[in-house]
A and B are shown apart, each in its own frame.
Chain A
Amino acid sequence: MTGTRIDTLFAGLKKQNRPALVTYFMGGDPDYETSLSIMKTLPKAGADIIELGMPFSDPMADGPAIQAAGQRALRNGQTLARTLEMARSFRTENDTTPIVMMGYYNPIYIYGVDRFLADAKTAGIDGLIVVDLPPETDEELCLPALRAGINFIRLATPTTDDRRLPKVLENTSGFVYYVSMTGITGSALPDTGKVAEAVARIKRHTDLPVCVGFGVKTASQARVIGAAADGVVVGTAIVNAVANVLSPDGGMIADPAEAVATLVRGLAQGVRESRLAAAE
């Protein structure tokens, strides 16, 4: 246990016997102000953990939806400094919901690892998911982050076999993010039986909570996945909810924050029913 907001949250949820709803959105999409209002609406709509996307020009592990969201954010002036500022601003009114920043290494490397960790800590960041830093590169950011008191959350995938799992889990803290399929974000949902099997496999190697993502779009899917996992991660569906209310000329057809809130309320309902469904 590292004693971050993430650890506190999962300890509390264990008592309630329900999985966490982990929601990803892209920082700065479609613009800074709208994005900040989306961030603020997430916990109010029932999200337990916020994954704050750091836009990158070349998101190799993401599908078209998240890539397009990142491009919208970058076009409208989002930078890593602005993403940190967004977290700081959020923290002025919410000091409990864990924030995990998710993205790629290069913007952090260019910002400077030590400077980034110091600023992230001040901004109230609890964890990091950096897609292109496997355990072989732990010296780069993972170990410095742990020393700074920030969780480094690792992705485990169907290609991570039992031989490799211990290495992947070695310096992971906060929770383990199980990517339920090989492929990019936003693809089809895999067989739920396989997901339960995979979660059980990871749990044989660690006491950390296991959250499952990649492919969860609806409340009913969240309910099913939540029966087996400690948390359900939803990303592309939220990013799409934003994109769906944007008009091609850059205007907004409806309020993106309200569109996200509607989706998240349904998903939150789904995860809250998941253990009940499993018990039936």
Chain B
Amino acid sequence: MNQPVAPNSFRTGPDEQGMFGIFGGRFVAETLMPLILDLEAHWNRAKNDPAFKAELKQLGRHYTGRPSPLYFAERLTEHLGGAKIYFKREELNHTGSHKVNNCLGQILLAMRMGKKRIIAETGAGQHGVATATVAARFGLPCVVYMGATDVERQAPNVFRMRLLGAEVRPVTAGHGTLKDAMNEALRDWVTNVEDTYYLIGTAAGPHPYPEMVRDLQSVIGEETKEQIMEAEGRLPDMLVAALGGGSNAIGLFHPFLDDKEVAIIGVEAGGKGLDGDEHCASLTAGKPGVLHGNRTYLLQNEDGQIKDGHSISAGLDYPGIGPEHAWLKESGRAEYVAIQDYEALEAFQLLTRLEGIIPALEPSHAIAEVMKRAPKMGRDKIIVVNLSGRGDKDIFSVAKHLGMEI
């Protein structure tokens, strides 16, 4: 394959067709096409409207608790004996993860569009909870599609969503996981095109979702830039974030894409190893294909059938990846690696003991990668890792993996 020429800027995508290089686009059924074009027009108006931005900022400050702190992880840094490690504390947000940043922006858009009903898909339940939360806050009925397998293994989040007034519909079609939940949400949308807003939780799906979710999550990277300048007087040497669909990662990375001195590392779920099928490393072990409205790296067989992934973390359990990450990989701007279940579990425990922070299993993958890299870097180097969610939801499955009863 020809090595692509590095563009002048990595921050100009997508193009008018929603493409990041060959990735992204609008591969959807005709029924949805007019809706997606309408959504794009509304989004373009909203994102340039000072009133929209002001309302979002106000909610971010007083509802979510922004800005989230940039915290120097002193004990972890000492323990690893190399680069200084900072955490972007997205786990301190209302609802416990970065997901709420995107949900607030999209529900404001849904209100502007006059939509009367919100639907969403969820895997681990974090996006479902964040969506149910903003739907409650704005008084809109909300239906969350969740794979039947996930409904069982994420019972606390299912209960949270129900408390918040959302209807959780277990999806048994297919294999009952996140991709099937997304299929089902798309089916709901094609059936209820008039009044329904589909609030996608990650930076994937048909254009304009990858761009819109990225822009709404970019607050993470923008704040980080200001905060690290204040703390260190310079940009970090490295950013690290975990990816399922890739929304927390693109939110941290995007404002830094043109700062060439900043290395960018995305961490995928390596599950039980990349040799077999039990992982979710679409970028490191998949190949380009078309699913859920966009062309991106996918886990698939030689006939183009999509495989089910596996990860200890339900939030990373998706066989695709946001198209901008696919492009950042191909263009060489970002590096993508995989961390296995056991490594994430070790990082989870280490962080809990050293810093008194219980991270979600998703960012535990990012921490595990930092554990490998920081010791090899000088003490004058700086790493920022996105602590995208808190681990309360994971204590039951962690206990099970550690053979403990609670």
Contacts and interface: CB of A to CB of B under 8 A. Distances in A.
Interface of A: 56-61, 63-64, 67, 71, 74, 79-81, 104-111, 131-134, 136-137, 154-161, 164, 168, 179, 182-184, 187
Contacts of A105: 27, 290
Nearest to A63: B187
Contact of B292 (A60, A110, A183, A184): A60
Interface string B11-47: 0000001000000011111111111000000000000
B303 interface: yes
Nearest to B38: A159
Contacts of B191: 182-184, 187
A181 to B, nearest CB: 9
B29 A67 contact: no
Contact of B305 (A74, A81, A179): A74
A106 B33 contact: no
Given A58-B183, A134-B33, A183-B190, 9 more contacts: A56-B304, A58-B291, A58-B292, A63-B187, A71-B174, A109-B295, A134-B28, A134-B30, A164-B34
Q: Name the residue in B28, B29, B186 with the highest tally of chain A Cβ atoms < 10 Å from its Cβ.
A: B29
27 contacts: A57-B306, A61-B31, A63-B187, A64-B173, A67-B173, A67-B174, A80-B303, A81-B303, A106-B289, A106-B298, A109-B290, A111-B303, A132-B290, A133-B27, A134-B26, A134-B27, A134-B29, A134-B33, A136-B25, A137-B26, A137-B27, A157-B29, A157-B31, A159-B33, A159-B35, A164-B33, A182-B192
Interface of B: 17, 25-35, 173-174, 179-180, 183, 186-187, 190-193, 289-293, 295, 298, 300, 302-306
Given A56-B305, A67-B174, A184 B300 contact: no
Contacts of B29: 60-61, 131-132, 134, 155, 157
B31 A60 contact: no
A106 B291 contact: yes
Nearest to A179: B31
Contact of A132 (B27, B34, B193): B27
Nearest to A132: B27
Contacts, number: 116
Contacts of A156: 30
B248 to A, nearest CB: 24
Interface of B is mostly: mixed
Contacts of B293: 132
A174 to B, nearest CB: 16
Contacts of A179: 30-31
B281 to A, nearest CB: 18
Given A57-B306, A105-B290, A168 B300 contact: no
Nearest to B287: A110
Given A159-B193, A182-B193, A184-B187, A109 B30 contact: no
B190 to A, nearest CB: 6
A186 B30 CA distance: 17
Contacts of B291: 58, 106
A223 B253 CA distance: 58
B305 A57 contact: yes
Given A106-B300, A187-B191, A154 B30 contact: yes
Nearest to A111: B304
For the complex of A and B, list the 7 residue pairs with the smallest distance between their C-beta atoms, beginning with the closest.
A110-B304, A107-B304, A183-B191, A57-B305, A61-B29, A79-B303, A157-B31
A110 B303 contact: yes
A22 B1 CA distance: 43
A20 to B, nearest CB: 21
B123 to A, nearest CB: 15
B187 A60 contact: yes
A194 B295 CA distance: 36
B300 A110 contact: yes
Contacts of B292: 58, 60
B125 to A, nearest CB: 21
Contacts of A132: 27-29, 290, 293
A187 B295 CA distance: 29
A164 B31 CA distance: 12
A272 B29 CA distance: 31
A154 B31 CA distance: 11
A182 B191 CA distance: 5
A248 B111 CA distance: 46
Contact of A106 (B183, B190, B193, B290): B290
Contact of A182 (B26, B31, B290): B31
A168 B30 CA distance: 9
Contacts of B30: 134, 154-157, 159-160, 168, 179
Contacts of A59: 183
B179 to A, nearest CB: 6
A131 B292 CA distance: 12
Contact of B26 (A110, A136, A154, A155): A136
Nearest to A159: B34
Contacts of A108: 304
A184 B185 CA distance: 12
Contact of B304 (A64, A80, A131): A80
Nearest to A59: B183
B129 to A, nearest CB: 25
A184 B292 CA distance: 15
B190 A61 contact: yes
A70 B183 CA distance: 15
A56 B186 CA distance: 16
Nearest to A105: B290
Given A110-B289, A132-B27, A137-B25, A60 B193 contact: no
A8 to B, nearest CB: 27
